[in-house]
């Protein structure tokens, strides 16, 4: 079962994904795509808040840019937070989508992804901002194509997004 939880900044997407993961049992692996930066105290505080919400029984793996390998080396249920941070961690946002999707579809246990839905935000005013939004949108669409469930979180509320089978 692959679930993609999308939402904007401070929408509650991570908390929703964590609540869902908790229904899968105590042996959850939380795959963190961000490392705590020394100079960014605000981001470090946000990471600490996420850590405090997680049950102590969950294992945490910091995967850096090698998300596909982390998915393949953790056989139980996993929660990946977040795809936006993973994309941002790559030089020029040059992520390899195909190996990620291959690793994802090889997994037998539930996998929950948290990702930012950048398409709802203000249009990026810089070339770098547009490149990030474009690449993250491509990754989100690729994951959504293989996901069993995609939800959008707005103000802490969950909206199930149906698959598009055909447009008439």
The catalytic residues are 50
Lay out the sheet containing 59-62: strands in order across. Answer: 59-62, 29-32, 78-81, 111-116, 2-7, 149-154, 157-161
Q: Calculate the alpha carbon distances from 11 to 21, 100, 120, 148, 166 in Å.
A: 18, 25, 12, 22, 29
Nearest residue to 79 via CA among 2, 10, 135: 2
Which structure tokens are listed for 150?
């995609």
In three-state secondary structure terms, 151 is strand
| Cα dihedral sign, 80-81-84-88 | negative
Bridge partners, residue 138, by sequence: none
């Amino acid at each position: 079962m692959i679930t993609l939880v999308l939402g904007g900044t401070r929408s509650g997407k991570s908390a929703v994904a964590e609540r869902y993961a908790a229904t899968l049992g105590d042996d959850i692996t939380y795959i963190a795509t961000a490392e705590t930066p020394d100079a960014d105290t605000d981001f470090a505080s946000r990471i600490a808040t996420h850590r405090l919400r997680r049950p102590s029984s969950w294992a945490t793996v910091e995967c850096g840019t090698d998300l596909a390998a982390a998915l393949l080396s953790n056989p139980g249920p996993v929660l990946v937070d977040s795809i936006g941070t993973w994309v941002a961690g790559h030089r020029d946002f040059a992520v390899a989508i195909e190996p990620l999707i291959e690793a994802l579809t090889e997994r037998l246990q539930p996998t929950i992804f948290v990702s930012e839905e950048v398409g709802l935000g203000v249009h990026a005013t810089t070339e770098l901002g547009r490149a990030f939004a474009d690449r993250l949108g491509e990754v989100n669409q690729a994951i959504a194509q293989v996901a069993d469930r995609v939800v959008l979180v707005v103000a802490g509320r969950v909206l199930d997004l149906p698959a598009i089978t055909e447009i008439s």
